[in-house]
Amino acid sequence: MIKFIPLGGANEVGASCFYLNIEGTGILLDCGTNPRKKGKDSLPNFSLLKTEPLDFVLISHAHQDHIGALPFLVQEFPHAIIYSTYQTKEIADITLHNAANILAQENIEQSELRNYTHEEIDFLVKSIRDVNYNQQFEIEGLLHHSSEKIRITFVDAGHILGSSSIIIEIGNEKIIYTGDINLSNQSLMIGAALENFKKATTLILETTYGATDSHKLGSWESEAKRLAKHANKILHNGGSILIPVFALGKTQEILSTLFSLMNKKILTETLIYTGGVSKEISNVYDRNRFVVNYSQKDLVLRNIPQINFNEIDDLNYFRKNPGIVLASSGMILPGTPSYKFSKYWLNQKTFAIFIVGYVDEESPGYKISSSKKGDEIIFDDNIQKVHCDIERFYFPSHAKREELLKIVDKSNPQKIILVHGEEEAQNWIGEKILSKHKSIKLYSAENGKSIEI
């Protein structure tokens, strides 16, 4: 018997954490936080594990919504053995230390959560067992009651550096957890191949872009040219452009895109501002460009001229020295550099904010992306008139909805569990699956609700 329990991230994007009990062996798929919530509310519901064994944690990639809760998990389950790719482990060493700094600033009450220390992060990262893509290994928990071990394989998911889909096999069962998957090429990362997805029995499928019309997304190349066209207009008028980005993944992809556009004389040569942990993460990209499925092995990100925006105290500097600012977070969450910059940018008539990635409907980034010059929005708890230009671009690092259906066709599973998507996204995907594959048993996961697979 195999039991599946979502601890978080079932019908939302955030706090991804999915539990499998396979013949008495307890496995967690990812262990993330919800970036829109604080304290205990941001974590998966670990109390659901009180009556279940937990032996292993398999991490698909290093975005905080998939890895950020690991330090809290090991406080309660220090014996759990953690696996990831080497690249995910290397990035986690950066992002988890950064998260510890942020949590210390937030001063979480001791009665709710115990903050973890940098020493605990060091120990945690060292304990992660790193594996190569397509390298199958076997696991079994303390209470495993099958004569056959569980076989695990991490395969490239094409999402960010080190990202993986995870294949779990025992007997005739083949469970595929897509994680965050992308089939299309980005500027740096090459889209996932699906040769390992054949003959699945159960598919745990992300649905992030299930509600997004793919005609809006276009191709990376066409969106890059569209961005350059709008950017040139702003730059020629002496304005600066803010591009909110995730420090991991989107920063590196957009940075390389801008550099390529300038080299090809499509984009006006201009200053590029970056800061925070994104530069450290870019160094990890540089070090691993020859050992992963990477499209620009000759490009060294740290050699692209960049100015550290953290060294700029007066934001009027961007009026005198116009350029493009890449600042996290991508969803313009309070307390982040992109949030601070947005407050200034919204008041500048010659400036622009370009939204280039996924934004949750409850985030400030969504409010801004849905507005235009002249609108009034609630921002920073005040009514804010939008004076700058707002443009929305689509540089997806997740599979388009037609690509999600392609994954279903390729794997042809008996059962599908939909996760990591809002209700509208899961409804669209679910309806399309059932209309074509009438024999598939389809589940829309709910946090805390057990499914027997």
- pLDDT value at residue 315: 97
Express each pLDDT in 394-446 by its tens digit. 999 999 999 999 999 999 999 999 999 999 999 999 999 999 999 999 999 99
Distance of CA 358 to the CA centre of its chain: 9
**Going from the N-terminus, what domains does the chain have, and what CATH number goes with each?**
2-212+397-452 (3.60.15.10), 219-392 (3.40.50.10890)
- pLDDT value at residue 106: 65
- Residue 163, SS3 per DSSP: coil
Q: Which residues, including other chains, have CB under 8 Å from residue 224's CB and lie 6 or more apart?
A: 187, 257, 260, 261, 266, 395
Average pLDDT over residues 351-378: 94
Task: Please name the helix (run of DSSP H) or strand (run of DSSP E) that holds residue 391, with its range, or none.
Answer: strand 389-392
Distances (CA, A) of 95 to 242, 261, 279, 286: 22, 29, 12, 17
The owner of tokens 């990262």 is: 125
pLDDT-based confidence at residue 360 (cuts at 50, 70, 90) = confident
| Helix ranges, 32-114 (H) | 64-67, 70-76, 86-106
> Rounded to whole angstroms, how far apart are CA atoms 95 and 101?
10
Tokens of 153: 């394989």
Contact call for residues 202 and 20 (beta carbons, < 8 A): no
Higher per-residue confidence, 238 vs 218 = 238
Q: Is the peptide bond before 240 cis (omega within 30 degrees of 0)?
A: no
Distances (CA, A) of 409 to 197, 199, 399, 436, 439: 10, 10, 14, 9, 13
Q: Is the pLDDT of residue 316 over 70?
A: yes
Torsions phi, psi for 367 (to 5 deg): -60, -45
> Rounded to whole angstroms, how far apart are CA atoms 115 and 133?
33
Q: Which residues, including other chains, have CB under 8 Å from residue 303's CB and lie 6 or more apart?
A: none
Contact call for residues 338 and 244 (beta carbons, < 8 A): yes
- pLDDT value at residue 38: 84
Angle at 404 between CA 398 and CA 405, to 5 degrees: 165
Instruction: Indicate the range of 69-78, 214-223, 231-240, 408-417 predicted with least confidence.
Output: 214-223
> Rounded to whole angstroms, how far apart are CA atoms 188 and 175?
29
Q: Is the pTM of this model over 0.75?
A: yes
Q: Is the pLDDT of residue 61 over 70?
A: yes
Residue 170: CA count within 13 A, CB half-sphere: 19
pLDDT-based confidence at residue 361 (cuts at 50, 70, 90) = confident
Q: Based on the number of CB atoms within 10 Å of its own CB, is 226 exposed (0-12), middle (13-18) or buried (19 or more)?
A: middle
Average pLDDT over residues 138-156: 97
Tokens of 428: 């669209």
Average pLDDT over residues 103-119: 69
Rounded mean pLDDT of the chain? 95
pLDDT-based confidence at residue 110 (cuts at 50, 70, 90) = very low
Q: Is the pLDDT of residue 194 over 80?
A: yes
Number of neighbouring beta carbons within 10 Å of residue 430:
19
> Rounded to whole angstroms, how far apart are CA atoms 337 and 246?
11
pLDDT-based confidence at residue 108 (cuts at 50, 70, 90) = low
Average pLDDT over residues 272-280: 96
Contact call for residues 420 and 206 (beta carbons, < 8 A): yes
Contact call for residues 288 and 189 (beta carbons, < 8 A): no
Instruction: For residue 37, list its beta bridge partners.
Output: none
> Rounded to whole angstroms, how far apart are CA atoms 100 and 117?
7
pLDDT-based confidence at residue 107 (cuts at 50, 70, 90) = low
Average pLDDT over residues 114-135: 93
